[in-house]
Amino acid sequence: MTQLAQESGNCPLCGTATSHLVLIKDDYPLVRCTGCSLIYVCPMPTPEAIRAHYQDPAYFAGAAEQGYADYDAMQKALAPHFARRLAVLARALPQRGRLLDVGCAAGFFLQQARADGWQIAGVELAREMADQAAARLQIPIARTLAELGPGQFDAITLWEVIEHVPDPVAFLQALAARLQPGGVLMLSTPNTAHWQAQRAPEQWISYRPPAHLIYFTQPTLCAAVGRANLDVQQVWPTFPLPPIPMWVQPLSRPLAAKLGSGELEPGRAWQAGLWLWRSVRVGAWGWQRIAHPRDDIFATLELLARRPPAG
């Protein structure tokens, strides 16, 4: 933890040149900035290497640990989370308007947003996903922000995207320029204050270079959004992930798969399994409150920011 990283690459958030090594994951050094505590991959992969990573079809389908196990099967599981986020957006902008989802993948969120009354647009770097979203939504999906064409939006969303971007401040600034004055930006990202990221970093599921390049906590996320001249309205943690005993994990996998695809049948055995699983989670959480009362158990951060109104 005391080792200084190579001098190549200043902190993408505050520009400080010195950092401590946190972990080497799959040959990528992850370092913590001595100035602002941001954790980031150092040195950053080249833009060419990053682009190539997302053109691999295995990123979204197949067994690749780097991406998503089977994105289609996730639609049902994601729906309630997207509905909750749409409710937050609706409170911030009751009149709705134009919404841009950046990193829209197969378009599941945009599909729900349109049903909720928004006029939708999407950006997706991965070609296969962009094609899927375009077919699903019957709208053109831009590959990059630059390809999107002119125009501003009332709301911009990015779900689990900002951690993939090597220069998050410049990226947020570009998004802020695409927001109407008074428009809102809402995002989610892994919470690197989570106990596992801090105490057992080699096990933390979201230390995933080169997909994830920047690892935020509430303070560093707010700082990045603030540097894009957006006013943070609210930032909150979600998805509790307490320490589950190792021996339970293989037993819970079939149940998790059923829950993930939203296909848990009403049979007694599955329902009993579900309640047992919930009890294990509550028990693990209770034990953690006693053993490590300062642990942060939330796996994800969500944030809502607003572009200051004109004048």
CB-nearer residue toward Zn ion: 68 or 215: 215
What Rg, from alpha-carbon coordinates, does the chain have?
20
CB-nearer residue toward Zn ion: 182 or 219: 219
Give the nearest distance from C-beta 205 to Zn ion in angstroms. Answer: 24
CB-nearer residue toward Zn ion: 9 or 201: 9
Give the nearest distance from C-beta 172 to Zn ion in angstroms. Answer: 15
Q: Give the C-alpha separation, 307 to 122, whole Å.
A: 20
Give the nearest distance from C-beta 225 to Zn ion in angstroms. Answer: 15
Give the nearest distance from C-beta 37 to Zn ion in angstroms. Answer: 7
Applying CB under 5 A, which residues contact Zn ion? 11, 13-14, 16, 33, 35-36, 38
Number of other residues whose CB lies within 10 A of the CB of residue 166: 18
What b/e string do you get for 238-251 counting C-beta neighbours within 10 Å, with b at 16 or more?
eebbbbeeeeeeee
CB-nearer residue toward Zn ion: 13 or 92: 13
Partners of residue 304 on adjacent β-strands: 186, 234
3-class secondary-structure state, position 59: helix
Contact 129, 106 (CB under 8 A): yes
Give the nearest distance from C-beta 33 to Zn ion in angstroms. Answer: 3
DSSP string, 177-222: HTEEEEEEEEEEEE-TTBHHHHH-GGG-TT--TTT--EE--HHHHH
For Cα atoms 9, 14, 16, give the angle at the middle one, nearest 5 degrees.
Answer: 50
CB-nearer residue toward Zn ion: 118 or 216: 216
Give the nearest distance from C-beta 38 to Zn ion in angstroms. Answer: 5
C-alpha closest to that of 165 among 12, 60, 307, 276? 12
CB-nearer residue toward Zn ion: 86 or 213: 213
Give the nearest distance from C-beta 12 to Zn ion in angstroms. Answer: 8
Percentages (nearest 5) of helix, strand, coil residues in the chain: 40, 25, 35
CB-nearer residue toward Zn ion: 14 or 276: 14
Number of other residues whose CB lies within 10 A of the CB of residue 186: 22
Q: Give the C-alpha separation, 273 to 171, whole Å.
A: 44
